[in-house]
Chain A
């Protein structure tokens, strides 16, 4: 059984640029959630995708957008990067929507300069 994978591991971007982060869900899981974790804080929910549709969104601006593909992998896109977007971005997959157990990937560390 393959766990949740994320790419790239690290990324450095300049303010104003755009970035795409990728996540492959655990085998058999159809739900993917994305979280942002700033240094020294707990992860914060960005949005969730279930069967290729957005199924809930946290308090993040529209420049954070996502996609889920038929194989249930997912992308997180961030436009017009700001310095405060520097964080660890975590992807989690689950067998379905709440209350199923979530499993997290290793994360992508984004630095915006």
Chain B
């Protein structure tokens, strides 16, 4: 299995620009998670989906952030407009997941390092 795939691996953009991060979960996994990692705040969950439906978006910092999962094999995290404080590593993870909610092993992708200047 190829594992969780994320693209791009690195993104450098100017403040005010739109940024789109992409994720392909492990085939057969029903849950997908978007995390952000910074030195100051550690690993934060932004949003997670189960069966393509957003279940919890309480970690999304503000309206500039949006996430979609149009099908079981693809998700995007969009930042518009981007700001320097959005600079971080963004990880996508997937798990088998169950509709009733139970903790399953989460497998992380390699991350996207975002730098907003």
Do these two chains really belong together in a complex? Answer: no
